[in-house]
């Protein structure tokens, strides 16, 4: 069991007030808060070892390089990648998806198909649309049902020899659905298609095992797992990373450069052009260590309790409808109250110190499916409490009374 008071004391921001009220932070789907160890590690990097990496013979450059590569090793262990060079540092999920989509431009031919799901974040839709426009390939969509679950029977019929890549999220940011990614991966492989998993919303809750999953690519952002912004990971199977062309050209990604011909560096450097986010890369390792010290079993248990309690308490509110009622879901509750715009609730409860997200959550196709402009989304983390849920429920009741 988690000692929740001890955990909360790790996060300085959780003791601040917002608009004169104690902060209730339920926007963890957008970004997580940062524990003191992570904040300290950023300062420590700049105070003690700041230097450019992979290029200097001097001591600081060596220290910074070692710390950066040690962090890559931590991520490798965390996601169980076979090789450290299959772990690429990126600026985040969006960058990772764009890197892969861009690489597939050299593979796809007119008539080929790319499969996305009906519940993707825009960053796992738009890069593939752009790719299809460039290559003449066709984008196909795996549909979902009213509970916000992907319809696997439809997926089975969409797959064919034309399918070259299937790209789905592990967990939906707007609905909380945990998708059957192992099934999706195995079925796609039977047709020779690659699979990219957008793990942005999954890594805060589960420890992915990329070898057990057998996915070809797995992407996520550091800022959603207690790490800094501007750093993320693209895991790619070695064979795929060798096959894809570099995304950006520049320093560090080359072996030899002449005006006639340039040869590229080995993995992972081939995909890491320019000075990277050194501090971010190092501190992402600190964040992953922190998450593991809390323990993913503990995290899941706490979040499941919050999900069950939050669902029950919210459903007490008259006219409240939850979007995303999948059998297997994570601690995200998207909802609306009849006759009230989500933005109005969000604005009023912000005045009471409560942070939720309102709007389409960068998943407009989901909102179109449910024929709504958006939702109010409360996304819980392991450092949240039932008492905070009570505060939110009372605040929503007050807001609803004011608005009806």
CB-based contacts of 168: which residues, under 8 Å, 6+ apart?
Answer: 115, 116, 117, 120, 124, 142, 150, 179, 181, 184, 195, 196, 197, 198
Inter-residue contact 24 to 388 (CB < 8 Å) = yes
d(CA 66, CA 77): 16
> Directed axis angle between helix 278-294 and helix 36-44, to 10°?
150
d(CA 241, CA 364): 31
Q: Which two tokens stand for residue 30?
A: 């957008």
Least distance CB 157 / ligand 7TS (angstroms): 25
Least distance CB 228 / ligand 7TS (angstroms): 12
Given candidates 71, 123, 135, 381, which one binds ligand 7TS under the rule CB under 6 A? Answer: 123
Given candidates 34, 72, 78, 121, which one binds ligand 7TS under the rule CB under 6 A? Answer: 121
Given candidates 201, 302, 381, 384, which one binds ligand 7TS under the rule CB under 6 A? Answer: 201
How are beta strands 113-117 and 138-142 bridged, if at all? Answer: parallel
Beta bridge partners of 167: 116, 196
Nearer to ligand 7TS, 120 or 388 (CB): 120
Q: What mask of x and - would describe binding to ligand 7TS in positions 345 to 384, judged by CB under 6 A?
A: ------------x---xx----------------------
Nearer to ligand 7TS, 98 or 385 (CB): 98
Inter-residue contact 351 to 371 (CB < 8 Å) = no
Annotation says 132 is catalytic:
no
Nearer to ligand 7TS, 59 or 248 (CB): 248
d(CA 110, CA 290): 46
Site for ligand 7TS in 20-49 (CB under 6 A): 29-30
Q: Could you say whether residue 206 binds ligand 7TS (CB under 6 A)?
A: no
What ranges in 191-295 are assigned the alpha helix state H? 210-213, 238-243, 278-294
Instruction: Indicate the DSSP class of residue 260.
Output: S
Nearer to ligand 7TS, 251 or 359 (CB): 359
Least distance CB 173 / ligand 7TS (angstroms): 3
Given candidates 198, 216, 303, 388, which one binds ligand 7TS under the rule CB under 6 A? Answer: 198
Looking at beta carbons, which pairs linking 6-13 to residues 24 or more positions away fall under 8 Å?
7/294, 7/382, 7/383, 8/383, 8/385, 10/35, 10/36, 10/37, 10/290, 10/383, 11/35, 11/36, 11/383, 12/36, 12/39
Rounded to the nearest 5°, which phi and psi values hold at 201?
-95, -5
Least distance CB 31 / ligand 7TS (angstroms): 7
> Nearest CA to 23 among 347, 252, 349, 246?
349
**Roughly how many angstroms between the first and final C-alpha of the chain, as a whole number?**
41
Site for ligand 7TS in 219-258 (CB under 6 A): 221
Residue of 132, 215, 226, 362 marked active site: 362
Nearer to ligand 7TS, 93 or 277 (CB): 93
How are beta strands 24-25 and 163-169 bridged, if at all? Answer: unpaired
Given candidates 35, 92, 204, 346, which one binds ligand 7TS under the rule CB under 6 A? Answer: 92
Given candidates 33, 71, 98, 173, which one binds ligand 7TS under the rule CB under 6 A? Answer: 173
Least distance CB 119 / ligand 7TS (angstroms): 9
Given candidates 28, 32, 98, 124, which one binds ligand 7TS under the rule CB under 6 A? Answer: 124
Nearer to ligand 7TS, 64 or 335 (CB): 335
Nearer to ligand 7TS, 64 or 79 (CB): 79
Inter-residue contact 176 to 361 (CB < 8 Å) = no
d(CA 335, CA 356): 11
Q: Which residue is nearest to ligand 7TS (CB)?
A: 173
Given candidates 32, 76, 93, 331, which one binds ligand 7TS under the rule CB under 6 A? Answer: 93
Nearer to ligand 7TS, 65 or 93 (CB): 93
Catalytic amino acids? 362
Chain residues that interact with ligand 7TS, rule: CB under 6 A: 29-30, 92-94, 121, 123-124, 169, 173, 198, 200-201, 221, 357, 361-362
């Amino acid at each position: 069991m988690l000692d929740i008071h001890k955990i909360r004391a790790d996060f300085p921001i959780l003791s601040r007030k917002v608009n004169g009220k104690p902060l209730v932070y339920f926007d963890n789907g957008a970004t997580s808060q940062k524990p003191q160890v992570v904040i300290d590690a950023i300062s420590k990097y700049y105070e003690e070892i700041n230097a450019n990496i992979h290029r200097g013979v001097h001591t600081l450059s060596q220290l910074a390089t070692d710390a950066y590569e040690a962090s890559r090793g931590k991520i490798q262990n965390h996601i169980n990648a076979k090789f450290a060079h299959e772990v690429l540092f990126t600026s985040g999920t969006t960058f990772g998806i764009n890197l892969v989509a861009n690489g597939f431009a050299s593979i796809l031919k007119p008539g080929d198909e790319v499969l996305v799901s009906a519940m993707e974040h825009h960053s796992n839709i738009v890069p593939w649309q752009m790719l299809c426009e460039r290559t003449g390939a066709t984008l196909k969509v795996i549909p979902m049902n009213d509970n916000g679950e992907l319809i696997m029977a439809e997926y089975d019929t969409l797959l064919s020899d034309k399918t070259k890549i299937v790209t789905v999220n592990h967990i939906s940011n707007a609905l909380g659905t945990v998708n059957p990614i192992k099934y999706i991966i195995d079925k796609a492989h039977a047709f020779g298609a690659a699979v990219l998993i957008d793990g942005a919303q999954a890594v805060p809750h589960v420890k992915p095992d990329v070898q057990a999953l057998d996915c070809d690519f797995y992407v996520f952002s550091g800022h959603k797992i207690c790490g800094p912004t501007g750093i993320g990971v693209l895991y790619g199977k070695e064979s795929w990373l060798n096959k894809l062309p570099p995304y950006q050209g520049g320093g560090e990604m080359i072996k030899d450069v002449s005006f006639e011909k340039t040869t590229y560096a080995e993995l992972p450097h081939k995909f890491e052009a320019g000075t990277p986010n050194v501090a971010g890369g190092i501190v992402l390792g600190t964040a992953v260590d922190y998450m593991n010290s809390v323990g993913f079993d503990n995290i899941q248990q706490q979040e499941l309790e919050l999900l069950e309690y939050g669902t029950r308490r919210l459903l007490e509110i008259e006219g409240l409808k939850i979007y995303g009622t999948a059998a297997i879901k994570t601690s995200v509750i998207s909802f609306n109250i009849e006759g009230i715009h989500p933005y109005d609730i969000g604005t009023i409860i912000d005045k009471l110190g409560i942070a939720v997200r309102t709007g389409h959550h960068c998943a407009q196709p989901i909102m179109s499916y449910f024929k709504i402009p958006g939702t109010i989304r409360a996304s819980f983390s392991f450092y949240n409490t039932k008492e905070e849920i009570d505060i939110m429920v009372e605040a929503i009741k007050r807001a609803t009374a004011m608005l009806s």
